[in-house]
Protein backbone atom coordinates (compact mmCIF):
# COMPACT_ATOMS: atom_id res chain seq x y z
CA UNK A 1 0.00 0.00 0.00
CA UNK A 2 1.40 3.39 -1.02
CA UNK A 3 2.26 5.61 1.94
CA UNK A 4 0.34 8.89 2.10
CA UNK A 5 2.58 11.96 1.63
CA UNK A 6 2.58 14.80 4.13
CA UNK A 7 1.78 18.41 3.11
CA UNK A 8 5.47 19.43 3.02
CA UNK A 9 6.33 16.61 0.62
CA UNK A 10 3.38 17.59 -1.59
CA UNK A 11 4.46 21.26 -1.64
CA UNK A 12 8.05 20.31 -2.53
CA UNK A 13 6.81 18.09 -5.35
CA UNK A 14 4.58 20.85 -6.76
CA UNK A 15 7.47 23.31 -6.56
CA UNK A 16 9.86 21.01 -8.45
CA UNK A 17 7.29 20.38 -11.17
CA UNK A 18 6.43 24.07 -11.55
CA UNK A 19 10.10 25.04 -11.90
CA UNK A 20 10.54 22.36 -14.54
CA UNK A 21 7.53 23.74 -16.42
CA UNK A 22 8.84 27.33 -16.29
CA UNK A 23 12.17 26.18 -17.73
CA UNK A 24 10.46 24.12 -20.43
CA UNK A 25 8.23 27.02 -21.50
CA UNK A 26 11.07 29.56 -21.65
CA UNK A 27 13.17 27.17 -23.75
CA UNK A 28 10.33 26.43 -26.18
CA UNK A 29 8.58 29.74 -26.82
CA UNK A 30 9.15 29.24 -30.55
CA UNK A 31 7.21 25.95 -30.49
CA UNK A 32 3.59 24.94 -29.98
CA UNK A 33 3.01 24.76 -26.23
CA UNK A 34 -0.27 22.94 -25.77
CA UNK A 35 -1.85 22.05 -22.45
CA UNK A 36 -1.20 18.40 -23.27
CA UNK A 37 2.52 18.78 -24.02
CA UNK A 38 3.27 21.03 -21.03
CA UNK A 39 1.29 18.90 -18.58
CA UNK A 40 3.33 15.89 -19.73
CA UNK A 41 6.48 17.78 -18.74
CA UNK A 42 5.01 18.21 -15.25
CA UNK A 43 3.79 14.58 -15.08
CA UNK A 44 0.22 15.70 -14.44
CA UNK A 45 -3.00 15.02 -16.29
CA UNK A 46 -4.06 18.05 -18.40
CA UNK A 47 -7.08 18.59 -16.15
CA UNK A 48 -5.10 18.55 -12.90
CA UNK A 49 -2.25 20.61 -14.38
CA UNK A 50 -4.63 23.31 -15.62
CA UNK A 51 -6.09 23.75 -12.12
CA UNK A 52 -2.71 23.65 -10.36
CA UNK A 53 -1.03 26.09 -12.77
CA UNK A 54 -3.83 28.63 -12.46
CA UNK A 55 -3.77 28.31 -8.66
CA UNK A 56 0.00 28.85 -8.41
CA UNK A 57 0.48 31.55 -11.06
CA UNK A 58 -2.90 33.29 -11.23
CA UNK A 59 -2.96 32.74 -15.01
CA UNK A 60 -4.05 29.96 -17.34
CA UNK A 61 -1.27 28.23 -19.26
CA UNK A 62 -2.28 30.00 -22.49
CA UNK A 63 -2.32 33.41 -20.79
CA UNK A 64 1.10 32.79 -19.26
CA UNK A 65 2.69 31.55 -22.50
CA UNK A 66 1.26 34.42 -24.56
CA UNK A 67 2.46 36.97 -22.02
CA UNK A 68 5.97 35.46 -21.92
CA UNK A 69 6.13 35.55 -25.73
CA UNK A 70 5.02 39.18 -25.85
CA UNK A 71 7.44 40.20 -23.06
CA UNK A 72 10.39 38.48 -24.72
CA UNK A 73 9.49 40.14 -28.00
CA UNK A 74 9.37 43.55 -26.29
CA UNK A 75 12.97 43.09 -25.13
CA UNK A 76 13.99 42.36 -28.73
CA UNK A 77 12.04 45.35 -30.05
CA UNK A 78 13.77 47.71 -27.65
CA UNK A 79 17.30 46.33 -27.67
CA UNK A 80 17.91 44.57 -30.98
CA UNK A 81 17.85 45.52 -34.64
CA UNK A 82 15.64 42.72 -35.87
CA UNK A 83 12.70 42.52 -38.30
CA UNK A 84 9.16 42.15 -36.95
CA UNK A 85 8.70 38.99 -39.01
CA UNK A 86 11.77 37.44 -37.39
CA UNK A 87 10.53 38.29 -33.91
CA UNK A 88 7.12 36.79 -34.71
CA UNK A 89 8.79 33.56 -35.85
CA UNK A 90 11.20 33.39 -32.90
CA UNK A 91 8.38 33.50 -30.37
CA UNK A 92 5.93 31.07 -31.87
CA UNK A 93 3.55 33.36 -33.75
CA UNK A 94 2.45 31.99 -37.10
CA UNK A 95 2.85 35.27 -38.97
CA UNK A 96 3.10 39.04 -38.53
CA UNK A 97 -0.67 39.42 -38.36
CA UNK A 98 -1.00 36.94 -35.47
CA UNK A 99 1.87 38.61 -33.61
CA UNK A 100 0.48 42.12 -34.15
CA UNK A 101 -3.00 41.06 -33.01
CA UNK A 102 -1.63 39.51 -29.80
CA UNK A 103 0.66 42.48 -29.20
CA UNK A 104 -2.19 44.98 -29.53
CA UNK A 105 -4.16 43.18 -26.81
CA UNK A 106 -1.39 44.14 -24.38
CA UNK A 107 -0.30 47.54 -25.64
CA UNK A 108 -3.13 48.71 -27.97
CA UNK A 109 -0.57 49.63 -30.64
CA UNK A 110 1.38 47.60 -33.20
CA UNK A 111 4.93 46.40 -32.45
CA UNK A 112 6.32 49.06 -34.81
CA UNK A 113 4.34 51.86 -33.15
CA UNK A 114 5.40 50.57 -29.74
CA UNK A 115 9.08 50.68 -30.68
CA UNK A 116 8.71 54.29 -31.83
CA UNK A 117 6.81 55.30 -28.67
CA UNK A 118 9.29 53.81 -26.21
CA UNK A 119 12.68 55.43 -26.78
CA UNK A 120 13.69 55.91 -23.13
CA UNK A 121 16.04 53.13 -22.10
CA UNK A 122 15.78 53.46 -18.36
CA UNK A 123 12.05 53.89 -17.82
CA UNK A 124 9.65 51.06 -17.25
CA UNK A 125 7.58 50.11 -20.28
CA UNK A 126 4.64 52.51 -20.17
CA UNK A 127 2.97 52.74 -23.60
CA UNK A 128 0.20 55.26 -24.13
CA UNK A 129 -3.23 54.10 -22.97
CA UNK A 130 -2.05 50.55 -22.35
CA UNK A 131 -3.63 48.23 -19.81
CA UNK A 132 -0.48 48.27 -17.67
CA UNK A 133 1.01 51.70 -18.32
CA UNK A 134 0.74 55.45 -18.35
CA UNK A 135 2.11 58.37 -20.32
CA UNK A 136 5.84 58.93 -20.60
CA UNK A 137 7.43 62.15 -19.38
CA UNK A 138 8.44 64.40 -22.26
CA UNK A 139 12.07 64.40 -23.37
CA UNK A 140 13.18 67.43 -21.32
CA UNK A 141 11.58 66.02 -18.18
CA UNK A 142 13.12 62.62 -18.88
CA UNK A 143 16.63 64.10 -19.24
CA UNK A 144 16.15 65.94 -15.95
CA UNK A 145 15.07 62.71 -14.21
CA UNK A 146 18.13 60.85 -15.50
CA UNK A 147 20.53 63.64 -14.47
CA UNK A 148 19.06 63.68 -10.95
CA UNK A 149 19.29 59.90 -10.85
CA UNK A 150 22.99 59.99 -11.77
CA UNK A 151 23.64 62.46 -8.93
CA UNK A 152 21.77 60.19 -6.51
CA UNK A 153 23.82 57.19 -7.65
CA UNK A 154 27.11 59.01 -7.05
CA UNK A 155 26.01 59.92 -3.53
CA UNK A 156 24.57 56.53 -2.53
CA UNK A 157 26.64 53.82 -4.21
CA UNK A 158 30.04 52.35 -4.81
CA UNK A 159 30.14 50.81 -8.30
CA UNK A 160 32.79 48.42 -9.57
CA UNK A 161 33.20 46.01 -12.49
CA UNK A 162 34.20 42.61 -11.15
CA UNK A 163 34.94 39.09 -12.34
CA UNK A 164 32.69 36.90 -10.20
CA UNK A 165 33.21 33.19 -9.63
CA UNK A 166 30.39 30.65 -9.78
CA UNK A 167 28.03 30.97 -6.82
CA UNK A 168 25.93 27.97 -5.80
CA UNK A 169 22.58 28.45 -4.16
CA UNK A 170 19.31 26.77 -3.24
CA UNK A 171 16.11 28.62 -3.93
CA UNK A 172 12.34 28.94 -3.76
CA UNK A 173 10.52 30.34 -6.81
CA UNK A 174 8.18 33.23 -6.05
CA UNK A 175 5.47 34.83 -8.17
CA UNK A 176 5.54 38.50 -7.20
CA UNK A 177 7.74 40.10 -4.52
CA UNK A 178 5.09 39.57 -1.83
CA UNK A 179 6.10 35.89 -1.66
CA UNK A 180 9.80 36.60 -0.98
CA UNK A 181 9.72 37.11 2.84
CA UNK A 182 8.01 33.77 3.49
CA UNK A 183 10.34 32.02 1.04
CA UNK A 184 13.41 33.39 2.82
CA UNK A 185 12.00 32.21 6.15
CA UNK A 186 11.66 28.67 4.74
CA UNK A 187 15.28 28.71 3.60
CA UNK A 188 16.55 30.02 6.93
CA UNK A 189 14.46 27.49 8.89
CA UNK A 190 16.10 24.73 6.86
CA UNK A 191 19.63 26.14 6.98
CA UNK A 192 19.94 26.78 10.74
CA UNK A 193 19.54 23.17 12.00
CA UNK A 194 21.80 22.00 9.16
CA UNK A 195 24.61 24.31 10.26
CA UNK A 196 24.50 26.35 7.06
CA UNK A 197 23.73 29.80 8.51
CA UNK A 198 27.16 31.27 9.21
CA UNK A 199 28.53 34.82 9.12
CA UNK A 200 29.56 34.16 5.51
CA UNK A 201 26.11 32.96 4.42
CA UNK A 202 24.22 35.43 2.25
CA UNK A 203 20.63 35.63 1.10
CA UNK A 204 20.00 36.64 -2.51
CA UNK A 205 17.18 37.48 -4.87
CA UNK A 206 17.64 36.37 -8.48
CA UNK A 207 15.41 38.04 -11.08
CA UNK A 208 13.83 35.67 -13.60
CA UNK A 209 11.92 38.42 -15.40
CA UNK A 210 12.68 42.04 -16.23
CA UNK A 211 10.62 44.43 -14.11
CA UNK A 212 11.04 46.93 -16.91
CA UNK A 213 8.69 44.74 -18.93
CA UNK A 214 6.83 42.33 -16.62
CA UNK A 215 4.25 43.56 -14.13
CA UNK A 216 5.74 43.16 -10.67
CA UNK A 217 2.96 40.96 -9.30
CA UNK A 218 3.44 38.51 -12.20
CA UNK A 219 7.24 38.55 -12.23
CA UNK A 220 9.19 35.48 -11.13
CA UNK A 221 11.84 35.80 -8.44
CA UNK A 222 14.12 33.29 -6.77
CA UNK A 223 14.58 33.65 -3.02
CA UNK A 224 18.06 32.18 -2.61
CA UNK A 225 20.50 31.01 0.03
CA UNK A 226 24.17 30.97 -0.99
CA UNK A 227 26.08 27.73 -0.42
CA UNK A 228 29.84 27.20 -0.28
CA UNK A 229 29.37 23.70 -1.73
CA UNK A 230 26.55 21.51 -3.00
CA UNK A 231 24.33 19.92 -0.34
CA UNK A 232 21.30 17.67 -0.45
CA UNK A 233 18.01 19.42 0.23
CA UNK A 234 14.36 19.46 -0.77
CA UNK A 235 14.92 22.84 -2.45
CA UNK A 236 15.88 23.43 -6.06
CA UNK A 237 19.55 24.26 -6.62
CA UNK A 238 21.30 26.37 -9.24
CA UNK A 239 24.35 28.59 -9.67
CA UNK A 240 25.17 32.14 -10.71
CA UNK A 241 27.33 31.86 -13.80
CA UNK A 242 30.91 33.10 -13.47
CA UNK A 243 31.76 36.19 -15.49
CA UNK A 244 32.00 39.94 -15.62
CA UNK A 245 29.45 41.92 -13.61
CA UNK A 246 28.74 45.52 -12.75
CA UNK A 247 28.36 45.46 -8.97
CA UNK A 248 26.76 48.39 -7.14
CA UNK A 249 26.98 48.46 -3.33
CA UNK A 250 24.15 50.46 -1.73
CA UNK A 251 22.97 51.25 1.79
CA UNK A 252 19.36 52.25 1.16
CA UNK A 253 15.76 51.80 2.30
CA UNK A 254 13.63 49.24 0.48
CA UNK A 255 11.64 51.92 -1.35
CA UNK A 256 14.85 52.98 -3.15
CA UNK A 257 15.58 49.57 -4.69
CA UNK A 258 13.91 50.43 -8.01
CA UNK A 259 15.82 53.72 -8.16
CA UNK A 260 19.07 51.85 -7.53
CA UNK A 261 18.45 49.37 -10.35
CA UNK A 262 17.48 52.12 -12.80
CA UNK A 263 20.46 54.23 -11.80
CA UNK A 264 22.84 51.31 -12.21
CA UNK A 265 21.67 50.80 -15.80
CA UNK A 266 22.09 54.53 -16.43
CA UNK A 267 25.65 54.30 -15.06
CA UNK A 268 26.35 51.35 -17.37
CA UNK A 269 25.14 53.25 -20.41
CA UNK A 270 27.18 56.33 -19.52
CA UNK A 271 30.32 54.24 -19.03
CA UNK A 272 29.96 52.11 -22.16
CA UNK A 273 28.93 48.77 -20.64
CA UNK A 274 26.35 46.55 -22.33
CA UNK A 275 24.27 43.96 -20.52
CA UNK A 276 25.06 40.37 -21.46
CA UNK A 277 23.01 37.20 -21.20
CA UNK A 278 22.59 36.03 -17.64
CA UNK A 279 20.69 36.82 -14.48
CA UNK A 280 20.68 40.01 -12.45
CA UNK A 281 20.61 39.51 -8.71
CA UNK A 282 20.82 41.13 -5.28
CA UNK A 283 23.05 39.97 -2.42
CA UNK A 284 22.11 41.12 1.09
CA UNK A 285 24.79 41.88 3.69
CA UNK A 286 22.57 42.67 6.66
CA UNK A 287 19.10 42.37 8.11
CA UNK A 288 17.57 45.75 7.32
CA UNK A 289 15.20 45.40 10.30
CA UNK A 290 18.23 45.56 12.60
CA UNK A 291 19.62 48.70 10.93
CA UNK A 292 18.91 51.90 12.94
CA UNK A 293 17.50 53.55 9.78
CA UNK A 294 15.93 50.35 8.39
CA UNK A 295 18.43 50.36 5.52
CA UNK A 296 19.61 47.35 3.55
CA UNK A 297 23.28 46.93 2.68
CA UNK A 298 22.99 45.24 -0.68
CA UNK A 299 24.95 44.49 -3.84
CA UNK A 300 23.11 44.87 -7.15
CA UNK A 301 24.73 42.68 -9.82
CA UNK A 302 24.27 42.94 -13.60
CA UNK A 303 26.16 40.70 -16.09
CA UNK A 304 28.01 42.71 -18.76
CA UNK A 305 30.12 42.10 -21.83
CATH number of the domain within which 83 lies: 1.10.10.60
Question: Is 197 part of any domain?
Answer: yes
Residue 233 lies in a domain: yes
Residues 185 and 252 in one domain: yes
189 with 289, same domain: the answer is yes
Do 98 and 22 fall within a single domain? no
- Considering the domain architecture, whether residues 204 and 293 belong to the same structural domain is answered as yes
Residues 206 and 113 both lie in one domain: no
Residue 168 sits in the same domain as residue 82: no
| Range 13-22, long-range pairs (CB < 8 A, 24+ positions) | 14/52, 14/56, 15/172, 15/173, 15/236, 16/236, 17/42, 17/43, 17/44, 18/42, 18/53, 18/56, 18/173, 19/173, 19/236, 21/53, 22/173, 22/208, 22/220
Do 184 and 260 lie in one domain? The reply is yes
Based on the fold, state whether residues 239 and 165 are members of the same structural domain. Answer: yes
Q: Which CATH number does the domain housing residue 174 bear?
A: 3.20.80.10
Q: What is the pLDDT along the chain (305 residues), one digit of tens a residue?
A: 445 666 666 777 777 888 899 999 999 999 999 999 999 998 889 988 998 898 888 899 999 999 999 999 998 888 788 899 999 999 999 899 999 999 999 888 899 888 887 655 545 544 434 344 444 445 566 667 778 888 899 899 999 999 999 999 999 999 999 999 999 999 999 999 988 888 889 999 999 998 888 889 999 999 999 998 778 888 999 999 999 999 999 999 999 999 999 889 889 988 999 889 889 999 999 999 999 999 999 999 999 98
Total domains in the fold of the chain: 3
Q: Are 235 and 116 members of one domain?
A: no
Examine residue 217 and state whether it is found in any structural domain, yes or no. Answer: yes
Domain presence at residue 75: yes
Q: Are residues 168 and 215 in the same domain?
A: yes
Q: Which domain holds residue 224?
A: 158-303
The answer to whether residues 207 and 110 belong to one domain is: no
Which helix (H) or strand (E) is 16 found in, with range? Answer: helix 7-27
Q: Which of 245, 242, 263, 239 is nearest to 303 (CA)?
A: 245
Q: Which of 38, 58, 78 is the last residue of a domain?
A: 58
Residue 244 contacts by C-beta under 8 Å, 6 or more apart in sequence?
161, 162, 163, 164, 276, 303, 304, 305
pLDDT, one tens digit per residue, over 22-74 is 999 999 999 999 999 999 998 889 988 998 898 888 899 999 999 999 999 99
Q: Is residue 149 part of a domain?
A: no
Alpha-carbon distance of 111 to 235, in angstroms, equals 39
The answer on 21 and 130 residing in a single domain is: no
285 is a domain residue: yes
- Does residue 47 lie within any of the structural domains? yes
The pTM of the full predicted model, rounded to 2 decimals, is 0.82
Please indicate, yes or no, if residue 1 is contained in any of the structural domains.
no
Domain boundary among 85, 104, 136: 136
Amino acid sequence: MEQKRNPIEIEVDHRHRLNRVFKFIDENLDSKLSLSSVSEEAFYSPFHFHRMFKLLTGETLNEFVTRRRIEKSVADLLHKEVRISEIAHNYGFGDNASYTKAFKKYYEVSPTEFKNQNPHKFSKIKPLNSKIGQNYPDLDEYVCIIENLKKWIKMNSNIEVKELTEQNYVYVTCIGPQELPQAFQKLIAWAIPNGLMTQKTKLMTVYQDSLKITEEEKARFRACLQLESSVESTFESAAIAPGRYVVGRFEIVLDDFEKAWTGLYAWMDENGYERSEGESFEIYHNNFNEHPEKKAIVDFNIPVR
